[in-house]
Amino acid sequence: MANLRQHTATLLLPTVFFGYAIYANSTMLFAPPADAKGGKINDLSLSYVIDGEATRDLDALYKSELPHRDPAVGVIGNARYALLNSGRKGVIVGDEGWFFTGEEFKRVKPADIDSAVAKIDEVRAKLAEAGVQLVMVPLPAKSDVYAEHLPEVMRSDAMQVAYSDFSTALKAKGMTVVDTREAMLAAKPFGELFLKSDTHWTPTGAKITAEAVQSTIQKSGISLPSATVTESWEAPVDIWGDLTTYITSPAYAPRVGLKQENIPIYRTAVNADAAGADLFGTETKVPVMLVGTSYSANENWSFVDFLRQSLTADVVNVAKEGLGPGVPMMDLLAGTALEDTQPDVVVWEFPIRYLGTSTLWERKGQSGGGGHHGGVGDSNV
Amino acid sequence: MVFSSETFLFLFLPLFLSAYYLTPERLRSWTILIGSYIFYCWWRADFLLLFIAVTAWAYGCGLLIDRWEGQARAKTTLVIGVIGCLIVLGIFKYLNFFMDSFAALIGTTPEELGYHWQLILPIGVSFYVFHAIGYIVDVYRKDTPATRSFVDFAAFMALFPHMIAGPVLRFRDLTDQFIKREHSLPIFTSGLYIFTIGLAKKVLIADTVAPIADQAFSMANPTAVESWLGAIAYMLQLYFDFSGYSDMAIGLALMMGFRFKQNFNTPYLSLSITEFWQRWHISLSTWLRDYLYIPLGGNRKGSARTYVNLFLVMLLGGLWHGAAWTYVIWGAWHGGWLAVERYTGWAKKAPPRLISLPFTLLLVLIGWVMFRAASVEGAFTVYGGMLGLNGIAPGIEFLANVTRENILFLVLAILAVCGEPYFKKLTDAEISAEAHGFEVTGNGIAVARPSLAYPIAMSLLLVVTVARLSEQSVSPFLYFQF
């Protein structure tokens, strides 16, 4: 018996370790290669191998595709959330299922605001040369609008101050600025403006903002050609909030009481005749162009539709996900979309949490100007 | 490749060990050599040529010194051999630093001087150059005969458990083991235990406290709480990262039958800086003693010269860690305290533990701040924070980036350091190879004993560690940059 115990003792760990290694490799060997993140491994050029690119891709493949990966993310994430009421770096867990992105908890320096405003003023001047008016739409931080759901130690006026300073500086340059924070705070009693488990706004928040844009444009005397619009509703979608993925994996989330967000989808179509299209549909002029981040780009939030509805005008959307507010504008100025579309107004949605980020105006790697779109286990820095 | 990567754990290691044990015993050095070169090339393949060149250089110098034993030519070869190795280190590690410093001294930039080579630092160069120098000097001193087997020597140089981040080994310690070493399932399993403990130290503790240090050292004006937490977190991160790496190296070597000596021996329980250096990165301090301090005259040339030698050795030891003024100052800090302790007699008879332990830890902590900071100015920013010059309480930016998990593991790390004397034998290759369980003896020391509890505990530890490794984004080793 002692002998058997000794053999078991000696063999247990090597069996666990190397047994799993055999299983894991055989699983990966027979997995469809299309799913693998390291799909570039087919490239076997000399430089690809010598520079270590090939092995880095293989490392990425093993990091993402081993069979224990998803259970590990789920179980550890669930344990962390259940025991510590916490997520991975990048998410702040508030009360009653409210999560906040860590990007909103920084002190924006006056120099950050000054440099951003100077750059925006350059953009305004370039747009003005093309006969286009700029309407700035700074978006307040979720942690500012819903500060009461934050842990007490995390409450701060940093984002409120940043919003105020940014808006004031933009107005001081003579720009048209929409006060979305005031509009949201006023609308807060009538519905949730941000999703509890996601960085972004609800369609209600998007609608309130669109109405504030319309009101500001009207007050500033900018006239837009009017069109007739048709509203419609699509089936709501259920999504896992992007901040939930900083807690655990979706497959494991329900086990710690986390739920999907239910998003009603609104669509607004612009009547073709009223929009000014000619008989053959070659007219490309659209009066409003929307530039911005995933708040505008992601169709789930329906912001562009609410904007069409509020302005009763067609809007072309060139916002991009995962690049912050600066890069899409730089792309717009570098491309031909302005000439092709000839808008009267460019509406620039600009979440203030991006102020002070080093990648505000230039792409860095693939992730660009930040944005909270990392998948489970991806770096969320 | 790093030990704490899925590729190493589940691809390289099983394949290498399979190849190793399937190879006839007399050819195993070949397997080690080929496997280690693949391991090295994982980072990038081109610098393997430099590595092979340094290996061949040291091997050739050894043969010549051996052939010309007792002649002046042997000493000349020794000098040329060592200088050749230092030139490699000088060009790849220090040239940019010296040119930058020189340009700054005369108020210009390397570009304006017409010089700005952006050389990539070959990974592991600091370690393999030290291995080469140690071998050449040992042959000259007749501490080891020059080996005729290039494969054995190259396999020693490249042996992947120690090639990139140490421990700093001497060929004379392994030469017999290249000829004959014991392989058995219990020894193999013991190696896997030690490896598992090292991996857990690195992944569970070092990686989890790292964000606290990263955040504190990246802040423009860290408060007192932020600075102290950051400095303590780095102190623990570095220890568990590097001692974890050393344990993994010891464990991997044991899986191949090699026995490496321990590289750490509860350093944070030292009562003086002198004792600290007897317990921290033991293989490096031994190397510095044998190949730098003693050739400089050690303590044989009077008190004043002893103090100077101590200071110089640590200064150069600091510079060895990296081409930056932060490392130079860190080395000088330790060298200065070694000299002071020698002068005051503190090293031999420290004050009561209640005073000497926290005081030593404080000195070490102050040193680590300089070691960790990106610049001297950055270090003084943290020192200012520690003195409360930027306020006391942590700000929201710090709190947003430091999770409860980070703080919990910081506390666990402190407890682990305090409890380490009771478990230190678990990672001793000599003891662990004898048996696979542990029990606490009468004097409170945990020793290995056969039992099922230990392998079950180790298996669970491995499962948790691998799961945690998979869940986190990256797990780089701090010592790879040196």
Task: Quick: pLDDT tens for A122-174.
Answer: 999 999 999 999 999 999 999 999 999 999 999 999 999 999 999 999 999 99
State residue A314's pLDDT score.
Answer: 92
Q: To the nearest 5 percent, what fractions of chain B are helix, strand and coil?
A: 70, 0, 30
In angstroms, the first-to-last Cα distance of chain B is 15
**B197-240: pLDDT as tens digits:** 999 999 999 999 999 999 999 999 999 999 999 999 999 999 99
Whether B307 has a pLDDT exceeding 90, the answer reads: yes
Known catalytic membership, residue A51: no
Burial of A45 (0-12, 13-18, 19+ CB in 10 A): exposed
Burial of B411 (0-12, 13-18, 19+ CB in 10 A): exposed
- How many Å is the maximal CA-CA distance in chain A? 93
- A-B contacts at Cβ under 8 angstroms: 145
Which letter, b or e, does each residue of B445-455 get, where b requires 16 or more Cβ atoms within 10 Å of its Cβ?
ebbbebbeebb
**Please, which residues have CB within 8 angstroms of residue B78's CB and are 6 or more apart in sequence?**
B61, B65, B136, B137, B140
CA gap A344, A229 in Å, rounded: 19
CA gap A125, A190 in Å, rounded: 38
Q: How confident is the model at residue A378 (pLDDT cuts 50, 70, 90)?
A: very low
Calculate what percentage of chain A has a pLDDT beyond 70.
88
Contact residues, chain A, for B455 at CB < 8 Å: 8-10, 12-13
Q: Where is average pLDDT lowest: A26-30, A158-162, A330-334, B9-13?
A: A26-30
Whole-number average pLDDT of chain B: 90
Contact B470 A17 (CB under 8 A): no
Contact residues, chain A, for B199 at CB < 8 Å: none
Whole-number average pLDDT of chain A: 87
- For chain A, state the CA radius of gyration: 25
Tell me the average pLDDT across B146-175. Answer: 91
Do A135 and A178 touch, CB atoms closer than 8 A? yes
Q: How confident is the model at residue A47 (pLDDT cuts 50, 70, 90)?
A: confident
Q: Which of A294, A296, A302, A310 is catalytic?
A: A294
Contact B404 A84 (CB under 8 A): yes
Do A127 and A134 touch, CB atoms closer than 8 A? yes
Whether B46 has a pLDDT exceeding 90, the answer reads: no
Does residue A26 sit at the B interface (CB-CB below 8 Å)?
A: no
CA gap A356, B117 in Å, rounded: 32
- Among all residues of chain A, which has the CA nearest to that of B400? A102
CA gap A302, A296 in Å, rounded: 8
Do A357 and A106 touch, CB atoms closer than 8 A? no
Report the SS3 class of residue B37. Answer: helix
Does residue A75 sit at the B interface (CB-CB below 8 Å)?
A: yes
**A98-122: pLDDT as tens digits:** 999 999 998 889 999 999 999 999 9
Which helix (H) or strand (E) is B416 found in, with range?
Answer: helix B404-419
Calculate what percentage of chain B has a pLDDT beyond 70.
93
CA gap B461, A11 in Å, rounded: 16
Tell me the average pLDDT across B55-72. Answer: 94
Burial of A190 (0-12, 13-18, 19+ CB in 10 A): exposed
**Residues belonging to chain B:** 482
Q: Where is average pLDDT lowest: A234-248, A252-266, B88-102?
A: B88-102
Which residue stretches of A220-325 are H helix? Answer: 272-275, 294-297, 303-311
**Please, which residues have CB within 8 angstroms of residue B97's CB and are 6 or more apart in sequence?**
B323, B324
Contact B452 A71 (CB under 8 A): no
Do A297 and A321 touch, CB atoms closer than 8 A? yes
CA gap B328, B318 in Å, rounded: 5
A253 DSSP assignment: G
**Number of Cβ within a 10 Å radius of residue B259:** 18
CA gap B275, B292 in Å, rounded: 19
**B22-40: pLDDT as tens digits:** 999 999 999 999 999 999 9
CA of A216 vs chain B CAs: smallest distance (Å): 33
State residue B465's pLDDT score.
Answer: 97
What pairs with residue B446 in β-bridges? B440
Contact B400 A58 (CB under 8 A): no
Nearest one of A286, A268, A267, A266 to A276, comparing CA atoms: A286
State both tokens at A48.
């690809």
Global ipTM: 0.86
CA gap B135, B143 in Å, rounded: 9
Known catalytic membership, residue A143: no
Whether A368 has a pLDDT exceeding 70, the answer reads: no
Whether A36 has a pLDDT exceeding 70, the answer reads: no
Report the SS3 class of residue A285. Answer: coil
State both tokens at B288.
């510095």
Report the SS3 class of residue A232. Answer: strand
Q: Nearest Cβ partner of B462 from A16, A25, A87?
A: A16
Which residue stretches of A146-276 are H helix? Answer: 158-172, 180-187, 203-219, 272-275
- For chain B, state the CA radius of gyration: 23
State both tokens at B419.
């409890």
State both tokens at A286.
């659209």
Q: How confident is the model at residue A372 (pLDDT cuts 50, 70, 90)?
A: very low
Burial of A161 (0-12, 13-18, 19+ CB in 10 A): middle
What pairs with residue A237 in β-bridges? A263
State residue B449's pLDDT score.
Answer: 60
Contact B450 A66 (CB under 8 A): no
Q: How confident is the model at residue A366 (pLDDT cuts 50, 70, 90)?
A: very low
Tell me the average pLDDT across B444-460. Answer: 76
* pTM, 2 dp: 0.88
**B266-293: pLDDT as tens digits:** 999 999 999 999 999 999 999 999 999 9
The owner of tokens 């370790």 is A17
State residue B436's pLDDT score.
Answer: 56
Domain coordinates in residue numbering, chain B? 6-180, 186-271+350-481
Q: Where is average pLDDT lowest: A40-44, A298-302, B185-189, B320-324?
A: A40-44
What B324-327 contacts at long range (C-beta under 8 Å, 24+ apart), as own/partner pairs, is B324/B97, B324/B375, B325/B101, B325/B375, B325/B376, B326/B370, B326/B371, B326/B373, B326/B374, B326/B375, B326/B376, B326/B379, B327/B371
State residue B435's pLDDT score.
Answer: 54
Domain coordinates in residue numbering, chain A? 2-102, 106-354
Whether B350 has a pLDDT exceeding 80, the answer reads: no
**A334-364: pLDDT as tens digits:** 998 888 888 999 999 999 999 988 888 888 7
Do A297 and A320 touch, CB atoms closer than 8 A? yes
**B411-434: pLDDT as tens digits:** 999 999 999 888 877 777 766 655
State both tokens at A354.
């991006």
Q: Where is average pLDDT lowest: A280-294, B4-18, B116-130?
A: A280-294
Q: Regarding predicted confidence, which is higher, B444 or A267?
A: A267
CA gap B349, B374 in Å, rounded: 36
Q: Is the peptide bond before B167 cis (omega within 30 degrees of 0)?
A: yes
CA gap B131, B54 in Å, rounded: 10
Does residue A27 sit at the B interface (CB-CB below 8 Å)?
A: no
- Among all residues of chain B, which has the CA nearest to that of A46? B45
Backbone phi and psi for residue A13, each to the nearest 5 degrees, phi listed first:
-65, -45
Report the SS3 class of residue A137. Answer: strand
The owner of tokens 């501490």 is B143
Whether A278 has a pLDDT exceeding 50, the answer reads: no
Tell me the average pLDDT across A233-249. Answer: 93
**Number of Cβ within a 10 Å radius of residue A148:** 10
Which helix (H) or strand (E) is B125 found in, with range?
Answer: helix B125-141
CA of B203 vs chain A CAs: smallest distance (Å): 14
Q: Where is average pLDDT lowest: A65-74, A282-291, B307-316?
A: A282-291
The owner of tokens 């250089």 is B57
Q: How confident is the model at residue B472 (pLDDT cuts 50, 70, 90)?
A: confident
Q: How confident is the model at residue A381 (pLDDT cuts 50, 70, 90)?
A: very low
